[in-house]
Structure 1
């Protein structure tokens, strides 16, 4: 079985599900066959894509225990691993979709609220590289250090704008431009 898995050119998701199912079917140990199947499935998947090191099949299948056992039983009755493979694909899809939703929610939650002045700064830098003085002139504000700390520094900290001379923040040649995240924010 492991020789087959090593030589097989099947997609790793399919191969991992088949290997898991076969360990369950062969039942080589008096105890722990399910854990061994899930372990090998996780190892094959993690070797294919590192995300599965963080989403182990043990956890995925634990969330779907009744369906997991039913899929094993149905596949055994049919003498066909297809039922189990379909269940595995469905469970993997659901967990990835859930992770993607969580990621989007996480990104949205951490997106900084910008003041009108900060939005004006981003718009002033839309297609230009400007000095500190030029930025404040473009938005019609006094460019003292308090205004800089209140309006420009948060944009730098959030990676929305960047310095043209980052190694020398106080250089008289310093200018500012939109970073990629700032370009995306301006599009919104």
Structure 2
């Protein structure tokens, strides 16, 4: 690979080169469409420019490729850490509640009937309340939590989690 192709524009504008890099990587594997390469490289500007210079001096693009791969690895590791920090450990009962709410909003009584469990206040605090706090379900009438018309439904986050869990079951 010609080293000039790493930074092909004489004016030093690497944005187009980084855009092409992102597009080619995304075409190869869609995960790269979600990795903000421009931001990753911007945050590591001194190392980015040093990698370009080192590759140019050595007439070998390996230095630049290693820098890029290392940057990609770092951002994936950071995203995984962020995801792990926000992961919610759910009990079997809570998973059953999510599954029950997949098709339509249900009242507290209907949820507990569907999972065949007593719906007393302790059960609610143990199984439903953590799902509300985690943002996996929400009230249909949030301004009146004790309304007899109150129902619970999946949030977008709860629906996403439910779909992911469904794939593995």
Q: Normalising by the residue count of structure 2, what TM-score does the alignment of the two structures yield?
A: 0.63
Match of 2:94 among 115, 118, 129: 118
Structure 1 residues 105 and 136, CA gap change in structure 2 (3 angstroms):
same
Q: 1:107 and 2:83 equivalent? A: yes
Q: Deviations over 1:126-176 (max 9, x none)?
A: 212101111111112222222111100111111211221233333332211
Partner residue in 1 for 2:160: 184
Name which one, 1 or 2, has greater alpha-carbon Rg.
Answer: 1
The structural deviation recorded for 1:101 is 3.1
Equivalenced residue count is: 139
Contact 1:155–1:161, Cα closer than 8 Å, also in 2: yes
Match of 1:13 among 15, 18, 23: 18
Aligned-partner SS, 2:141:
coil
Structure 2 residues not aligned, in runs of 5+: 1-9, 20-35
Aligned-partner SS, 2:153:
strand
Aligned-partner SS, 2:135:
coil
Structure 1 residues not aligned, in runs of 5+: 15-45, 76-82
Contact 1:13–1:89, Cα closer than 8 Å, also in 2: no
Q: Deviations over 1:89-122 (max 9, x none)?
A: 5423431232113312441454222111111111
Partner residue in 2 for 1:57: 45
Partner residue in 2 for 1:167: 143
Describe how 1:1-188 pairs up with structure 2 within 5 A. 5=11, 11=16, 13=18, 49-52=38-41, 55-58=43-46, 60=47, 70-75=54-59, 83=60, 87-88=63-64, 90-108=66-84, 110-187=86-163, 188=165
The structural deviation recorded for 1:74 is 1.6
Moved more, 146-155 or 135-144: 135-144
Q: Normalising by the residue count of structure 1, what TM-score does the alignment of the two structures yield?
A: 0.58
